[in-house]
Amino acid sequence: MRSGRLLLLAFIAALVAVYFSFDLGQYLSLDYFKTQQAAIESYRASHPWQTALLFFLVYVAVTGLSLPGAALMTLVGGAIFGLLWGTLIISFASTIGATLAFLAARFLLRDGVQRKFGDRLGAINAGVAKDGPFYLFTLRLVPIFPFFVINLVMGLTPLRASTFYWVSQIGMLPATLVYVNAGREIGRIDSLSGILSPGLLLSFVLLGIFPLIAKKAVDLVKARRVYARWPRPKRFDRNLVVIGAGSAGLVSAYIAAAVKAKVTLIERHRMGGDCLNTGCVPSKALIRTTRFLADVKRAGSLGVRAASAEFDFGAVMERVQRVVRTVEPHDSVERYTGLGVDVVIGEARVTSPWTVEITTEEGMRVLSTRAIVIATGGRPAIPGIPGIEEVGYVTSDTVWALRTLPRRLLVLGGGPIGCELAQCFARLGAQVTQVQRGPQLLCKEDPEIAALVMQRLRAEGIDLRTEHTPLHFERDGDAWTLVCEHAGGQVRIGFDQLLVAIGRTANVSGFGLEALGIGVRKDGTVDTNEYLETIYPNIYAAGDVAGPYQFTHTASHQAWYAAVNALFGRFRRFKVDYSVIPWCTFTDPEVARVGLNEQDAKARGIAYEVTTYGLDDLDRAIADEAAHGLVKVLTVPGKDRILGVTIVGEHAGELITEFIVAMRHGLGLNKILGTIHIYPTLSEAGKYAAGAWKRAHAPQRLLEWVGRYHAWRRG
């Protein structure tokens, strides 16, 4: 492939060199043609086909090699062949030449450009994939954009070659006609610049933007059509109705109230949603207790001869609930009512694009509203493994009700929730087996990152079973057995309590979306565009129900876009920005990430360099007996621009913030290196990672000369 590229490059370079070194451009001038016109025409009269073929080939070569002269040749074509044949020959020659230039740019440059700038080109690629033919058509019709530039630039995009060909052929036709027609009177033309009068240019511009305007109009009509079967209220009770009072719903309602919109927030269960009641808050409270127990266990490593902790599992779980109750007021009905939100506890159902029916204990009511934000969240996914319903499993929704520690706990699933809970229960003293289909836990992370977590979980006594596929459950007296397929055989795993943590499913059904025809993606989340609009431009989705992320901070991030677009979209709409998304798995060690890791970069064909810094080298980590883990930074080759960072270690979720800020505001590793970090802190790890990058990119040649300079100074 590489040698093919070099060969093509050499071939093109040779042809271009021939063109310039023999000054072939002199033959592509108006004056030269006029001197030769009579001779050419007489040759054409005696050899019509040969003349046409020769002209065709030269035209293809000039446009294919992006040489100057295509406009002049079009005029000449008109002069020699007349309007019909001239247009026909030139239309095909110019399109074939343009497509050759397009293909050459694609073959020679596209991979490199996409690899180097792929992380930034995402939006352009998506735009071209969606509307590329329209853009190209516009550019072709407006002959003020040099065609050779369009050919080369389009070659770098994902536009299909066949689409490029036919759009170019049609799009270039009007300008070809004008030039060929003008060429018939070539004797009266003194320069190329006068051929397109301002009036003609304007007509081309209008013709060029017409398809874009037409497309926008069609989109508008389509958007209006989805509303056609729904009667539109004359007046609206609310500016916004938000369904679900989890992270996404609360923030949407908060923003609406803050900008003085009339907003109703509907919650059918508990204010705060998953994060407060069954997710982030209880899990982090449990992690705090179990981290203390782990510290007690490793007292010896801190120089303490013996330490022990006595605890009651029920009391630990009660503390978790106490923490939830302490945080609860932040998300309470009282607080939000005080902020100006009309909070209703009840079940919501969308009955039309502008109406929401609410069933409460008091009865049913219907609210009309200008816009709706769907923030109904998700729920634990339950696999269809035979026998699972008889087992009586717990999930992240129900595990918090346990008051007796299971003796043998089976955790199904190796994602963040499964890992956090498996480690907690192991540290509380349960005998934990964790079953994962794939070869590693935390499958979104790079293998060596997941390996660090797996190593720790194993060291803490968790029986990790990767590449185990559950087949069915069997009763075993009072206990249960999971039968798995592993390495071609069957493996039996006994347990007393099953915890299912295989992922979460978006809540999309049972509240009216089906009747409205609002679609669902393959992953089960509500289908929205980049503005978070569903097929109804006044119905938005945010949070776990919208995907693609399932975090509290991404739910709130999306909520801003959903609420602002819903309330002010008629003035300006904002595309949701996923460019710098961080997250953390709160196992011990924590795994925090922002941006790309190696898996992502490879999958997206983005070139990268890796710099790692091991925390075993960091003074504070050594002092804290936390000298394990690493900082792994991906950068653009040869540059300090950060593509992504993964940190494994204690407080990784806090340490990553420096890199989140850097990526968000375009600061490179040099800036991190140039910032004073307090000694001795764990945060120095970021600076040392930047230092490792700097050392690897030190200007060796220059340093050799500097060394010679110092030697000379010593005499």
Ligand X SMILES: Cc1cc2nc3c(=O)[nH]c(=O)nc-3n(C[C@H](O)[C@H](O)[C@H](O)COP(=O)(O)OP(=O)(O)OC[C@H]3O[C@@H](n4cnc5c(N)ncnc54)[C@H](O)[C@@H]3O)c2cc1C
DSSP helix/strand/coil, 548: coil
What is the smallest separation between the CB atom of 437 and ligand X, expressed in angstroms? 20
Alpha carbons 480 and 502: distance in angstroms, whole number: 19
Which distant-in-sequence residues (6+ apart) come within 8 Å of 104 by Cβ?
8, 12, 64, 155
Nearest to 308 by CA among 320, 319, 292: 292
Q: Pick from 108, 175, 275, 454: which binds ligand X (CB under 6 A)?
A: 275
Quote the tokens at residue 593: 């990430």
Q: Classify residue 463 by its DSSP letter.
A: E
Q: Which is nearer to ligand X, 247 or 369 (CB)?
A: 247
* Binding segment toward ligand X, per CB under 6 A, in 97-105, 372-380, 441-449, 679-687: 372-380
Shortest separation between residue 382's beta carbon and ligand X, angstroms? 14
CA–CA dist 538, 540 (Å, integer) = 6
- 279 lines the binding site for ligand X (CB under 6 A): yes
Binders of ligand X among residues 170 to 199 (CB under 6 A) are none
Complex with ligand X: residue 237 or 274, whichever CB lies closer? 274
Q: In whole angstroms, how close is the CB of 275 to ligand X at the nearest point?
A: 4
- Contact status: 269 vs ligand X (CB under 6 A): yes
Contact flag: residue 86 with ligand X (CB under 6 A): no
Instruction: Pinpoint the alpha helices (H) of 142-279.
Output: 147-155, 161-183, 198-227, 247-258, 273-277
Token pair of 258 as six digits: 């803050």
Establish if 544 lies at the interface with ligand X (CB under 6 A).
Answer: yes
Binding mask 303-322 for ligand X (x = CB under 6 A): --------------------
b/e burial code for range 532-553 (CB count within 10 A of at least 16 → b):
bbbbbbbbbbbbbbbbebbbbe
Q: Of the candidates 90, 105, 375, 592, which one interacts with ligand X according to CB under 6 A?
A: 375
283 contributes a contact to ligand X by CB under 6 A:
yes
Secondary structure class of 417 (helix, strand, coil) = helix
Check residue 543 for interaction with ligand X (CB under 6 A): yes
Pick from 103, 266, 502, 518 the residue near ligand X by CB under 6 A.
Answer: 266
Binding residues for ligand X restricted to 332-351, rule: CB under 6 A:
347-348
- Told to check if 274 binds ligand X by CB under 6 A, we report yes
Choose, by CB under 6 A, the member of 94, 289, 396, 423 that binds ligand X: 396
User: How do beta strands 263-267 and 342-345 pair?
Assistant: parallel
Largest CA distance in the chain: 109
Counts for the chain of helices (H) and strands (E), in that order? 25, 21
Binding mask 550-579 for ligand X (x = CB under 6 A): xxxx-x------------------------
Selected from 64, 155, 249, 470, the binder of ligand X by CB under 6 A is 249
Closest CB to ligand X among residues 422, 636? 422
User: Residue 638 and residue 628: Cα distance in Å, rounded?
Assistant: 28
* CA 388/CA 530 separation, integer angstroms: 38
Q: According to the binding rule CB under 6 A, does residue 369 interact with ligand X?
A: no
Contact code string over 204-243 relative to ligand X, x by CB under 6 A: ---------------------------------------x
Q: How far is the CB of 220 from ligand X (least distance, A)?
A: 30
Half-sphere exposure of 176 (CA within 13 A, CB side): 24
Q: How many residues bind ligand X (CB under 6 A)?
A: 37
Q: Judged by CB under 6 A, does residue 245 bind ligand X?
A: yes
DSSP letter at 551? -
97 part of the interface to ligand X, by CB under 6 A: no
Residue 84, number of CB atoms within 10 A of its CB: 9
The reply on whether position 588 binds ligand X by CB under 6 A is no
Residue 246 as a binder of ligand X (CB under 6 A): the answer is yes
Contacting range for ligand X; rule: CB under 6 A; set: 35-43, 221-229, 369-377, 593-601: 369-377
**C-alpha 361: how far from its chain's center?**
42
In a 3-state reduction of DSSP, which class is residue 484? strand
Residue 645 CA to residue 672 CA, distance in Å, equals 13
Work out how close the CB of 532 gets to ligand X at its nearest, in angstroms, rounded to a whole number: 12
654 burial type by CB count under 10 A (0-12 exposed, 13-18 middle, 19+ buried): middle
- For strands 479-486 and 469-476, give the pairing: antiparallel
Q: Would you say 269 and 391 are in contact if contact means Cβ atoms under 8 Å apart?
A: no
Which one, 135 or 560, has the nearer CB to ligand X?
560
Q: Which is nearer to ligand X, 546 or 636 (CB)?
A: 546
65 within 8 A of 101, measured Cβ to Cβ: yes
Q: Which of residues 114-173 bind ligand X (CB under 6 A)?
A: none
Residue among 136 and 358 whose Cβ is closer to ligand X: 358
Give the span between the Cα atoms of 628 and 617, in whole angstroms: 9
- When the beta carbons of 99 and 395 are compared against ligand X, the nearer one is 395
Taking CB under 6 A as the binding criterion, the range among 86-94, 162-170, 269-277, 632-640 that sits at the site for ligand X is 269-277
Say how far apart CA 84 and CA 56 lie, in whole Å. Answer: 15
Q: Does residue 287 interact with ligand X by CB under 6 A?
A: no
Residues lying near ligand X in the complex (CB under 6 A): 243-249, 266-269, 273-275, 278-280, 283, 347-348, 375-378, 396, 417, 507, 511, 543-545, 550-553, 555, 586
